[in-house]
Amino acid sequence: MVYLDPEPVIKKLKEMNARRILLQLPDGLKPHVFSYFTKLSQNFSVIVSSSGFYGACDTGTRDEYVNVDAVVQMGHTEIPNVNYGIPVIFEEYIYPSAETFSGLNLTSLEEKGYRKIGVLYSIQYRESAFKFMEFLKDKGYEVRMGNNDGRLKYPGQVLGCNYSPIHDLDTWADCHIILSTGTFHSMGAQLSTEREVFVVEMSEPFTLHSMMEEADRRIRRRYANMAGIMDVDRFVVVVDTKVGQYRMKLAMKIKEEIESMGKTAVLAYANESNPVDFQNMMAQCIIFTGCPRVATDDFDRYPMPILTAQEFQMMFKKTGKGKYIFDEIVNVDRQ
């Protein structure tokens, strides 16, 4: 596979005079680790991170940085406004474009009279997204890709914590369509907007379906998780130490707000958030300022309510005027 050709990486590492390398591979690419490691090791001293990582927001811990000159992370795209503190080479993983979308059933767009479409993609499907725009244009739709903010590298791209291209087009578009697999990115997209979001599931035969009902169910479950928190007294406000999730200033502000209500708040660091740790602290509620998906997707793992920063503001500061606000990360603090 061309993608696993290490030569471009070797060239970049030589240019930066790096000698000691930390190599991060997502689980799907770990089977290639022996061949890749062997090739890099002919030129550099390489150590592989065997633990999982979450994306470009997570390039290893300070302990790991101490002994390396650079990180090579496979499969993700840099987050431009994160200061990584160490040189990081991101080897993007973009699939070749799909051949055609001609078999895709667009009835659900027709039925609702949607004509102006915002197109989004998770990074692997960037090439396909351009093909898809041509397909929609040929069918007579108006199509745009929204501009990204500083947390994304490309227009139309999304992360599970940032949907700025949606907001760029929200007043123009009738609906948004995201090219992705699974529901992680499409669920976040629908939670971030009141416009309808459709997902093109990128395994053939391609299908198009709305995320509206699933997102409504998720929001109802989020409100159920938050029921009763107005009476809670002991909060733990968590700062995730991952370089792309570190929002200390936000956490401190929330802690002050909790205290101003006469309640108790503890500020806590976490790298791998573990429900048992908070249980041992007798926490009654967690406000998690790192990845918002910990609260929105994994809350079932926690024996106490766990809220995003935006959910905290919705509940205690009455932001959102009754509408659910998805907690998007625009930028993080420098560590």
Binding site for ligand SF4 (CB under 6 A): 54-55, 57, 159-161, 244-245, 291, 293, 329
- As beta bridge partners, residue 21 has 46, 70
Cα–Cα dist 107/110, whole Å:
5
Give the nearer residue to ligand SF4 in terms of CB position, either 57 or 136: 57
Q: How far apart are CA 287 and CA 300, in angstroms?
A: 15
Closer residue to ligand SF4, CB minimum distance, 128 or 296: 296
Q: Which is nearest to 72 in space by CA: 47, 92, 93, 90?
A: 90
How many other β-carbons are positioned within 10 Å of the β-carbon of residue 145?
19
Instruction: Give 6 or 146: the residue with its C-beta nearer to ligand SF4.
Output: 146
Q: Identify how many contiguous H helices and E strands the chain contains and give both numbers.
A: 12, 13
Where b means 16+ CB within 10 Å and e means fewer, 97-108 reads: ebeebeebebee
* In the complex, minimum distance from the CB of residue 30 to ligand SF4, in angstroms, rounded to a whole number: 18
- Amino acid identity of residue 100, one-letter, is T
The tokens for 208 are: 């198009």
CB of 221 to ligand SF4, least distance (A): 19
Q: How far is the CB of 38 from ligand SF4 (least distance, A)?
A: 29
For 65-174, strand residue ranges (E) read 70-74, 88-91, 116-121, 142-144
Residue 291 Cβ vs ligand SF4, minimum distance, rounded to whole Å: 3
Q: Which of 242/255 has CB closer to ligand SF4?
A: 242
Nearer to ligand SF4, 54 or 121 (CB): 54
Which C-beta is closer to ligand SF4: that of 160 or that of 305? 160
Q: How far is the CB of 54 from ligand SF4 (least distance, A)?
A: 4
Q: State how far the Cα of 232 lies from the Cα of 173, in Å rounded to an integer.
A: 41
CA distance 88 to 265: 36
Residue 185 CB, nearest approach to ligand SF4 (Å): 9
